Amino acid sequence: MKALQPVRGTRDLIGDDARRHFRVVDTARRVTALYGASEWATPIFESTAVFARTLGETSDVVTKEMYTFEDRSGESITLRPEATAGICRAVISNGLTQTLPQKIFFQGPMFRYERPQKGRYRQFHQIDFEIIGAAEPLADAEAIACGWQILRELGIADGTVLNINTLGDKASRDAYRTALVDYLSRYEADLSADSRTRLARNPLRILDSKDSGDIALLAAAPVIYDHLNAESAAFYDGVKSALAQFGIPFVENPRIVRGFDYYNHTAFEFVTTELGAQGTVLGGGRYDGLMEQMGGPSIPGIGWGAGIERLAMLLADVPEAASMIAVIPMGEAQYPAALGILNRLRNAGIAAEMAYRGNVKRRMERANRIHARAAIIIGEDELARDAVAVKFLDDGTQREVAIGDLAALLR
């Protein structure tokens, strides 16, 4: 019988991979808490309308990538492809629109049916930070600062560049869209097939094209900065000023866009050159129209998401496994004392284990295999003095220690 294998585009998190993964999660959880965030968890699946309505019925995610199925009652259900829509749904359905602003940290798996490649999987994981209910440019800068601090504390900020742009308000964006369509229409025959399709329904997405021909045409295309009204220009200046006060370096990139109408003002990406062409490791933007589009009140929001797999790949070092203490009874008669010492250490917050079987030699071999920092050797003579022998495995030294002093010594 053929052994069962994981589904294509999924993987197991074991050993070093797991430690890298949870290093990212733990760092993000700690840093977002410094910014006042509470951690939320939303369902892995939602009504399909949550994503179809927010991501756009004609978007690639909705038409090509979502895992959508009917449950036994005939309701259309979708495994979440991203985090923001579910978080905004939770704000509305839990009656939290009167207790704003809300700062939210989220982490968990997402699902998209796309071609697996380096750092991209069909089940992937994200960290996510949202500020809902704040309309001020300081909120945008603070969200970016939070992401920057996470990258710094992971040790990967030095190889990363912050790119920012503005989409302006609706009036500014409409004026820019008109100018962009006028320009690109002159070269429609030279555009890629995807961009010709987007020209009619979502022209701003052409700015994000990776096609070399499109990129060449866009070099002379209008930029949004020439179409901002006074309010939008002032908002953008406010974001840049706050970023400067936070000491966060950035470059302005007029090609960063978000393709849906509910996005406005700030768009940003942290980009690295260490992951090939797909260099974005953290990105987001302001989405003041999203809550209203979901059937809720008009509430502003700003947030970002980052792929855990991609961040984990950039970590310079594999986090070390928890440092263990090995408990080694010399024989069966010492088992009761060994179990009592295990319990004493664990209750004191010290990681400890005892091999389930084997003689002293084999138990010592396991202690070395799990990179234990010390072995507690429990012999008859030492127990008579209410003591044990502690062998420190890094330098081989050994000393007798009273059982009551073990936790203080090993902590």
Q: What is the mean pLDDT of residues 333-353?
A: 95
How far is residue 118 from each of residues 10, 89, 316, measured CA to CA in Å?
12, 32, 17
Give the distance, in angstroms, between the CA of residue 174 and the centroid of all CA atoms in the same chain: 32
Tokens of 163: 């790119």
The string of DSSP letters for 151-195 reads HHHTT-GGGEEEEEEE---HHHHHHHHHHHHHHHHTTGGGS-HHH
Domains 16-169+229-314 and 325-410 share a fold: no
Q: Are 303 and 131 spatial neighbours (Cβ–Cβ below 8 Å)?
A: yes
Closest CA relative to residue 108, chosen from 92, 87, 89, 94: 87
State pLDDT tens for residues 165-182.
999 999 999 999 999 999
Identify the band that residue 262 occupies on the pLDDT scale cut at 50, 70 and 90: confident
Q: Which amino acid is present at 208?
A: D
Tokens of 100: 């704003």
Is the pLDDT reported for residue 58 higher than 60?
no
Fold adopted by 16-169+229-314: BirA Bifunctional Protein; domain 2 (3.30.930)
Half-sphere exposure of 315 (CA within 13 A, CB side): 23
Identify the band that residue 57 occupies on the pLDDT scale cut at 50, 70 and 90: low
Average pLDDT of the chain to the nearest whole number:
92
Superfamily the domain 325-410 falls into:
Anticodon-binding domain (3.40.50.800)
Identify the band that residue 197 occupies on the pLDDT scale cut at 50, 70 and 90: confident
Parse the chain into domains and list their residue ranges.
16-169+229-314, 325-410
State pLDDT tens for residues 182-194.
999 998 888 998 8
Looking at the chain, the whole-number percentage of residues with pLDDT higher than 70 is 97
Q: Where does 35-106 have alpha helices with state H?
A: 48-55, 60, 84-93
Q: What is the mean pLDDT of residues 59-70?
A: 80
State pLDDT tens for residues 212-259.
999 998 999 999 999 999 999 999 999 999 999 999 999 999 989 876
pLDDT value of position 276: 64
Q: Which of 117-121, 285-289, 344-348, 371-375 has the lowest mean pLDDT?
A: 117-121
228 Rama sector, left if φ>0, alpha if ψ -120 to 50, beta otherwise: beta
Is the pLDDT reported for residue 17 higher than 80?
yes
The string of DSSP letters for 323-337 reads PPEEEEESSGGGHHH
The sign of the torsion formed by the CA atoms of 260, 261, 263, 267 equals: positive
* Angle at the Cα of 11 from the Cα atoms of 5 and 13, rounded to 5 degrees: 120
Looking at the chain, the whole-number percentage of residues with pLDDT higher than 90 is 79
State pLDDT tens for residues 269-315.
999 987 766 689 999 999 998 999 899 999 999 999 999 999 999 99
DSSP 8: T
Cross-strand partners of 114: none
Q: Which amino acid is present at 382?
A: E
State pLDDT tens for residues 116-136.
877 789 999 999 999 999 999
Is the pLDDT reported for residue 64 higher than 90?
no
Q: Which amino acid is present at 209?
A: S
Q: Where does 35-136 have alpha helices with state H?
A: 48-55, 60, 84-93
Q: Are 84 and 56 spatial neighbours (Cβ–Cβ below 8 Å)?
A: no
Is the pLDDT reported for residue 333 higher than 60?
yes
Identify the band that residue 387 occupies on the pLDDT scale cut at 50, 70 and 90: very high
Q: Are 139 and 131 spatial neighbours (Cβ–Cβ below 8 Å)?
A: yes
Distance separating alpha carbons of residues 402 and 400, to the nearest angstrom: 7
pLDDT value of position 114: 86
pLDDT value of position 312: 95
pLDDT value of position 56: 67
389 three-state secondary structure: strand
Closest CA relative to residue 301, chosen from 139, 181, 70: 139
Is the pLDDT reported for residue 60 higher than 70?
no
